[in-house]
Amino acid sequence: MKALVSVKRVVDYNVRIQVKPDGSGVVTDGVKFSVNPFDEIAMEEAVRLREKGKVTEIVAVTIGGAKCEETLRTALAFGADRAVHVKEEGEVQPLTAAQALAAVFKKEGAQLFLLGKQAIDDDANQTGQMVAALLDLPQATFASKIELDGAKALVTREVDAGLETLEVDLPAVVTTDLRLNEPRYLKLPDIMKAKKKPIEVVSLGDLGVTAAAGLKATKTAAPPKRSKGVMVKTVDELVTALKGKGLI
Amino acid sequence: MSKILIIGQQADGKLSSSIAKVVAAAKLIGGEIEVAVFAKDGSAAAAEAAKLDGVTKVLQIDRAENDHALSAVVAPQVVELAKKGYSHVFAPGTTFGKDLLPRVAAKLGVQQVSDVMAVHGPTSFDRPIYAGNAILTVEAPAAPAVVATIRLASFAAVGSGGSAPVEKVSVDAALPSHTRFVKLEAQKSERPELQSAARVVSGGRALGSSENFKVIYALADKLKAGVGASRAAVDSGYVPNDMQVGQTGKIIAPELYFAIGISGAIQHLAGIKDARTIVAINKDAEAPIFEVADFGLVGDLFQVVPELTSKL
Ligand SMILES: Cc1cc2nc3c(=O)[nH]c(=O)nc-3n(C[C@H](O)[C@H](O)[C@H](O)COP(=O)(O)OP(=O)(O)OC[C@H]3O[C@@H](n4cnc5c(N)ncnc54)[C@H](O)[C@@H]3O)c2cc1C
Ligand SMILES: Cc1cc2nc3c(=O)[nH]c(=O)nc-3n(C[C@H](O)[C@H](O)[C@H](O)COP(=O)(O)OP(=O)(O)OC[C@H]3O[C@@H](n4cnc5c(N)ncnc54)[C@H](O)[C@@H]3O)c2cc1C
């Protein structure tokens, strides 16, 4: 069975985000970029499924500019067999990304599509669900456990009420939550090997995708800042302070 | 004029408390506000929705397939309904709404606005990006419809003095059978629900075990508070996943928040930006949580928290 995994290049989760003074976006020059953490989890899961003999081939895909090749090399170092780079230097909003990813999934004839539940830059949490909708496939989002069983998958999902389990027919789209697994550290030989693996470059046009009408960003602002409060020395002082503000 | 369709999330026939907040966001746009309840028997939930101030009509779509509100099953029905002249389709920013609405948006061919935190007009909204470290103002195309999830921590629930009519409707949509509900393992708790509690007490990695979490529960019970946790506490298995607060957990806005043995990583802070008052208890005076706390106390939680509980 073939699995497709999408990987997105995002600002590293440790970076302190700065909003540009003119409100046109956030500062990304000279900032560290990494693979979206949820996509690393998706990649790791695909590799584990292959180690269990459930998956035979893993293809990684990304949409973005030339720098995204790094992202694909990371996916290849994790263990993807090959990669598809949908090259687009401009902005790609979720529906357009979903259209492109759906086209790649169809072209590859994959049975399982693993995506992160959200990208930590735009935090949209939409793309996987949109891919599933466009392909009329089952979706199991926010997965914390995946069991493949022949033509079906049993997926445990992290929902507000607790843990929900769904059974879906394959092919299916699954988005990953944090507790699905802990991604491995990449070893140097794997990173070296990844340099030789093939990356196919295609354009949105090659996939028959024209960007959908999008949201227009009118302004980016810093959130209101919380100011540092007061330090109290004892529990009694704390109780007095909270009572003083009518909080207890 | 706007005509807004709100997906009336329900479980076991009970309307989710999130809907009163989604209605609050819709009221900022105005016009007709309709709540659609998809259930096996949605009578009770529809009756609750009908009482919410500002709602002009409730649509009750009863179908056996709607029993577990699976997105693959509900989405085609929402899409059919949405085509009937609605200018907006809103859902709550719960795991249910986040799972369902992009599936609807894609079918309608529109980009979704995720996590609306402020409404400037019928097509202009604020939403958080980068774990809330930047706020993006977006303009959404008005046609064919604006599709958005609502960030619950940003809106106060409307009252329930209304009496909108409830209409039973049938929606003609082919429903897939490729997705089947197996089970829900829900945590039963007598404590207030995390996302609507006025007070929340959260514990972090410092607790060290699920056994030790009892000091958190004891304080919470004294305060009649909900209980939350950092990702580290959840990952370590001290508490279940539905208690995680933060960028990838629950976003909350209590009057009073206690962060106990939590360092204050940006991903955790993303979940508590709207808390009115933050109290931090940490043994490290340099912990970043103190940068945002209204009241900070440096000390060992295993001494401080029981003492605090006994003095309340
Ligand atoms: C109004 C607006 C303006 C924007 N302006 C810019 C801009 O100027 N420059 C810019 O760089 N970005 C910009 N963005 C952000 C960019 O468009 C987002 O990356 C896009 O909206 C996808 O959202 P997301 O990644 O949060 O999706 P999510 O739905 O959160 O992503 C979920 C998963 O989908 C997959 N995925 C999503 N996108 C890709 C991708 N490109 N490649 C591979 N996998 C992917 C990943 O597996 C990811 O984990 C803008 C967004 C908006 C709404
Ligand atoms: C993609 C991504 C998403 C994430 N999403 C979330 C999220 O949604 N929510 C979330 O919380 N985290 C999230 N995280 C994790 C986050 O980065 C932190 O790792 C996490 O919040 C740390 O939890 P903590 O504060 O409990 O643990 P630590 O950072 O280990 O802090 C423990 C604190 O306890 C203090 N302490 C120790 N012993 C005592 C004692 N006896 N008395 C008092 N204080 C004591 C220490 O001084 C320390 O400050 C995410 C990370 C990533 C990469």
C-alpha A28 to ligand 1 mean position (Å): 14
What average pLDDT does the structure give for chain B?
Answer: 96
- Closest of B221, B278, B228 to residue B255, by C-alpha: B278
Do B11 and B151 share a structural domain?
A: yes
Instruction: Decide whether any atom of ligand 1 lies within 6 Å of the A11 Cβ.
Output: no
pLDDT(A213) > 90: no
Of A63-67, A213-217, B117-121, B187-191, give the lowest mean pLDDT range.
B187-191
pTM of the model: 0.89
- Mean pLDDT over residues B19-43, rounded? 97
B157-173 pLDDT, tens digit each: 999 999 999 999 999 99
Look at residue B156 in the predicted model and tell me its pLDDT. 93
Do B215 and B84 share a structural domain?
A: no
- Mean pLDDT over residues A44-55, rounded? 98
Mutate to test the pocket of ligand 1, among A6, A22, A62, A63 (most ligand atoms within 8 A of CB): A6
Quote the number of domains for chain B: 2
Q: Give the angle A66-A123-B28 at the CA atoms, nearest 5°.
A: 130
Decide if B184 is inside a domain: no
**Which residues of chain A does B277 touch, with a Cβ-Cβ cutoff of 8 Å?**
242, 245, 247
* Contact present, A168 and A138 (Cβ < 8 Å): yes
Q: Which ligand has an atom closest to residue B241 CA?
A: 2
Do B204 and B153 share a structural domain?
A: no
Q: C-alpha B150: how far from its chain's center?
A: 8
Lookup: tokens for A137: 């496939």
Predicted ipTM?
A: 0.93
Do B280 and B239 share a structural domain?
A: yes
C-alpha B223 to ligand 1 mean position (Å): 41
Decide if B265 is inside a domain: yes
Lookup: tokens for B240: 């279940």
Give dist(CA B25, CA B124) in Å, integer.
12
Look at residue B254 in the predicted model and tell me its pLDDT. 95
Decide if B177 is inside a domain: no
Do B247 and B164 share a structural domain?
A: no
Does the beta-carbon distance from B297 to A125 stay under 8 Å?
A: no
Give dist(CA A19, CA B296) in Å, integer.
28
User: What's the alpha-carbon Rg for chain A, to the nearest Å?
Assistant: 21
Look at residue A202 in the predicted model and tell me its pLDDT. 98
**Which residues of chain B does A117 touch, with a Cβ-Cβ cutoff of 8 Å?**
248
Do B91 and B33 share a structural domain?
A: yes
Q: At B234, which helix (H) or strand (E)? A: helix B231-235
The CATH number linked to B293 is 3.40.50.1220
Do B18 and B154 share a structural domain?
A: yes
Do B156 and B98 share a structural domain?
A: yes
Give dist(CA A190, CA A181) in Å, integer.
20
Look at residue A211 in the predicted model and tell me its pLDDT. 82
B86: domain range?
Answer: 3-168
Give the closest of B105, B128, B266 to A130, CB-based: B105
- Mean pLDDT over residues A153-165, rounded? 95
- Mean pLDDT over residues A171-200, rounded? 97
pLDDT(A137) > 80: yes
Look at residue A186 in the predicted model and tell me its pLDDT. 96
B185-219 pLDDT, tens digit each: 987 788 998 988 999 999 999 999 999 999 999 99
C-alpha A190 to ligand 1 mean position (Å): 28
Do B151 and B96 share a structural domain?
A: yes
- Mean pLDDT over residues A212-229, rounded? 88
The CATH number linked to B33 is 3.40.50.620
Decide if B100 is inside a domain: yes
Give dist(CA B108, CA B97) in Å, integer.
16
Give dist(CA A143, CA A48) in Å, integer.
15
Decide if B182 is inside a domain: no
- Mean pLDDT over residues B75-83, rounded? 97
Which of B168, B188, B216 is the endpoint of a domain? Answer: B168
Do B307 and B261 share a structural domain?
A: yes
Give the closest of A121, A140, A238 to B130, CB-based: A121
